[in-house]
Structure 1
Amino acid sequence: MTIALPARQLSKSECVVGLRAALRVLDKWKATSEQACQILRISRSTYTRARQDDAQWSVALDQDQMQRVSFVLNIHAALRTLFDNPDNAYGFPSMENHNEFFNGRKPLDVMAQGDMIALYETFRRIDTLRGAQW
């Protein structure tokens, strides 16, 4: 499955909504602030500001950052499809995984390597577990 983002430039308010949604998911996965910044390729100051309840705050994210947000949200959706139990849906990324790609590593640690390939491959492996039924 290919994840395609709109060809148009997203507004700052759309970027804020996406970023905050991805950060809420990463919080539920028990990602550290450093991991979240690496996964989404955002600065520590952007991370801090996005977590504040400031309706006036806005941010412009580039295409790469929005694709990372999209991957996090799609991984979340795949896990919610796979697992009925919230403990499993939210706990899976921080559990050691002994499948071929992960080799005993936690999916969250793999994603936090910061490169797009690791994020994409994590999504692809989780999507495959649920039969890639998009």
Structure 2
Amino acid sequence: MSQATAAPASPTKDVGAVALRTAINIMEKWQASTKQIENVLRISRSTYARAKDQQRAVSLDSDQMARISLVLNMHAALRTVFDNPDNVYGFVSMKNSNDFFDGQSPLEVMAQGSFIQLYETFRRIDVLRGAQW
């Protein structure tokens, strides 16, 4: 007697789901609200909820994957620059006097949802670790 089994999720979906969960975890440590996370990653509330459930598959498009990549790379840059976890996770919530941020925190700028603002925020954080543009 054979048993029917569900087909496993595709490797791409698995990688995307892990990356999304990791980005959400980082952003929650940044004290981002659910709405800010949804705006930065350009995901719906239902995708956010599915990502929180380890057993559920998540489909992501290339823009969402690029956004996740930028968040993960910002986190890596912050971990390189700072030894203190309070700075690693608190930096993006601090008001910033850099002309680009104009007194807003990096998180506030990213949460406006524009890919360009997310990318430019990444660039400014990446420069802190000595990246040359």
**Same structural fold, with TM-score higher than 0.5 when normalized by the shorter chain:** yes
Equivalents in 1 of 2:46, 2:99: separation in Å?
36
CA deviation vs aligned residue, 1:40-84 (integer Å, no higher than 9, x gap): 0000011112112x32x1011000000000000000000111100
Quick one: structure 1 residues 10 and 62, their matched pair in 2 at CA, closer, same or farther if it must change by over 3 Å?
farther
Normalising by structure 2, we get a TM-score of 0.88
User: Which residue pairs with 1:80 in the alignment?
Assistant: 79
State the Cα distance separating 1:12 from its structure 2 match: 0.8
Letter in 2 for 1:51: K
Letter in 1 for 2:45: R
User: Which residue pairs with 1:4 in the alignment?
Assistant: none
Normalising by structure 1, we get a TM-score of 0.88
The secondary structure found in structure 2 opposite 1:11 is helix
Equivalents in 1 of 2:35, 2:27: separation in Å?
11
Equivalents in 2 of 1:128, 1:10: separation in Å?
33
**Gaps (5+ residues) in structure 1?**
1-8
- Choose 1 or 2 for highest CA Rg: 2
Equivalents in 2 of 1:95, 1:86: separation in Å?
14
Letter in 1 for 2:42: R
User: Which residue pairs with 1:92 in the alignment?
Assistant: 91
Moved over 4 A (4+): none
Q: Is the 8 A contact 2:81 2:129 kept in 1?
A: yes
Equivalents in 2 of 1:39, 1:84: separation in Å?
25
User: Which residue pairs with 2:38 in the alignment?
Assistant: 37
**Gaps (5+ residues) in structure 2?**
1-9
* Correspondence 1:24 to 2:25: yes
Equivalents in 2 of 1:10, 1:43: separation in Å?
22
Identical-pair percentage: 60
Aligned residues: 123
Equivalents in 1 of 2:113, 2:102: separation in Å?
18
